[in-house]
Amino acid sequence: MSSALDASLSCAVRYAYEHSPFYRARLDGLGLSPAEINTALDFRRLPLTTRHDLAEQGAGMWCVPQAEVVDIVTTSGTTGLPLPYPLTANDIARLGRSERFSFQLAGLTRNDTVLLAVTLDRCFMAGLAYFEGLKALGATAVRVGSGSPAMLLSLMRQLSATAIISVPSFLKRVAEYASGQGLELNHSTVKKLICIGEPLREADFQLTPLGRMIHDAWGARLYSTYAATELASSLCECDAGRGGHLCPEAHYVEILDDLGQPVAPGQVGEIVITTFGVEALPLLRYRTGDCSFLIEEPCTCGLATPRLGPILFRKNQMLKIKGVKLFPSAIQKTLDGFGGLRDYVLVATSSSPLSDELEILLEADEAINLDLLRERLRGDLKVLPTIRLGTAQEIEAVRDTQNYRKKRLFIDRRSGPAHA
């Protein structure tokens, strides 16, 4: 480990100890002094921080008084109700610097006009972070949002936009709308698509079915990213498309096994993050629940920083259906590559501690071949979940969009603490 990393970790521990009642009590309870944490190896002596800690401790984890908080966002709510995350003015400036680094990796410059097709309301950090990053870069930001494909296409043509930041599913929706209007997106001025929030690449870095569909429709270069509210930054690919580059000034990433021990480079484990330079709510060794791997050899782009591979699955989402173990991501991959689907949601329940049940609620075109879909699912998964056709309103009701800001594709209604 580099001396610069050791210094950053030591500084992060000291700051958290001096300003966070939670971390001070935790270290004191273990008989650990910040002065004992001087290297990355020492750092592993610290226990992991969990989402349960954030939910239980609340403001007890904050490092600044309320008067210094200028904005409050919330966590995504992917695996539970959203939790408040405070930001100081310096935290927002840090967000901008971090996202500027990501955008530079994707080749954006101050000469780009970027459609920001994500929401800035509903306590959403990503929209705020990307807007601040484009400001820091000096690019032109167009806050079009993610509500109207027609509006996005209109502004794209009117302003000769060169890039879009969006979740892949919305880019797919725009492409389908454009096709229905007789528009060919692969002749547009948009040459870069910064994709957030949803998987875009396989473990071997090839595009997922959804990614291939978007690439073919838009004829633009796709950039996959990884981000989390708690990370307070994002990891973006460069043109090589071989993993998201870590930003050493913003965060430290560990990949750990089920026992909390580091795995070898290239091995899959849980992503555990530590933030640097965060004032209001820094996190030490925070378990994300997301699973991936690190690549440590230098990138062909010239950067020697480690890179994070694609997100392969979430740790607590494994299903066991009729004796077969699988993850929702595998089901989503099959659905995303099947024509005629407008939207879907997966709902998991359990009738016993040893077996799960899964229903796929679909909104689909009238011409969809459900028998072929069932055959495809059975072939890909070795087991067939229950499939039910529904309306857009039914799907939105299942997602409970009043309480959850992020579009949820997987709803876990299984009982037991592992699925809470």
What is the residue-wise DSSP string for 302-356?
S--S-EE----EEGGG-EEETTEEE-HHHHHHHHHTSTTEEEEEEEEEEEETTEE
Q: Is there a contact between 221 and 239 (Cβ–Cβ < 8 Å)?
A: yes
Across the range 181-187, mean pLDDT stands at 91
Measured between alpha carbons, how far is 63 from 293 in angstroms, rounded to an integer? 31
Tokens of 152: 């996005």
User: What whole-number distance in Å separates Cα of residue 345 and Cα of residue 172?
Assistant: 16
Token duo for residue 104: 């530079």
Mean pLDDT of the chain: 90
Size of the chain, expressed as the number of residues it contains: 420
Q: What is the CATH number of the domain that holds 372?
A: 3.30.300.30
pTM: 0.83
Q: Is the pLDDT of residue 267 over 80?
A: yes
Q: Where is the domain boundary, 264, 291, 315?
A: 315
CA distance 205 to 155: 32
Q: Which contacts of 146-154 are long-range, i.e. CB under 8 A and separated by 24 or more positions?
A: 146/117, 146/118, 146/119, 146/170, 149/173, 149/174, 149/177, 149/178, 150/177, 152/115, 152/117, 153/177, 153/178, 153/181, 153/183
Listed residues 291, 315, 339: the one ending a domain: 315
Query: Are residues 356 and 413 located together in one domain of the fold?
Result: yes
Of all residues in the chain, what percent carry a pLDDT higher than 70? 94
**What letter would DSSP give residue 232?**
T
Question: Do 82 and 179 belong together in one domain?
Answer: yes
Same domain, 185 and 329: no
Within this chain, do residues 169 and 272 fall inside the same structural domain, yes or no?
yes
Query: 49's torsion region: left (phi>0), alpha (psi -120 to 50) or beta?
Result: beta
72 lies in the same domain as 155? yes
Q: Could you report the per-residue pLDDT of 343-383, keeping only the tens digit for each?
A: 899 998 886 666 788 889 999 888 888 989 998 888 888 88
Q: Average pLDDT of 385-392?
A: 89
Tokens representing 327?
């993850």
Statement: residue 1 has pLDDT above 70: no
Reply yes or no on whether the pLDDT at 77 is more than 70.
Answer: no
Class of residue 412 by CB neighbours under 10 A (exposed 0-12, middle 13-18, buried 19+): buried
- Write down which residue in 315, 349, 364 finishes a domain: 315
Helix, coil or strand: residue 252:
strand
pLDDT in tens, 118-156: 988 878 888 999 999 999 999 999 999 988 999 999 999
Q: How many Cβ atoms are within 10 Å of 264's Cβ, its own excluded?
A: 10
5 and 114 assigned to the same domain:
no
- pLDDT given at position 402: 57
* CATH for 279: 3.40.50.12780
CB 362 within 8 A of CB 387: yes
Do both 310 and 405 map to the same domain?
Answer: no
- Point out the least confidently predicted range of 43-47, 264-268, 327-331: 327-331
Burial of 277 (0-12, 13-18, 19+ CB in 10 A): buried
- Identify the CA nearest to 290 among candidates 309, 268, 315: 315
CA atoms lying within 13 Å on the CB side of residue 94 = 21
Residues 372 and 265 in one domain: no
Are 103 and 226 within one domain?
yes
Count how many domains the chain has: 3
* pLDDT for the residue 101: 95
Helix (H, G, I), strand (E, B) or coil at 32: coil
User: 125 and 270, same structural domain?
Assistant: yes
Nearest CA to 48 out of 296, 262, 349 is that of: 262
Are residues 265 and 341 both part of a single domain? Answer: no
C-alpha 382/C-alpha 375 separation (Å) is: 10
Q: Are residues 1 and 38 in the same domain?
A: yes
What lies within 8 Å, CB to CB, of 223 at 6+ separation is 105, 106, 192, 193, 194, 195, 236, 237, 241
Helices (H), 138-219: 149-159, 168-180, 209-218
Structural domain containing residue 20: 1-45
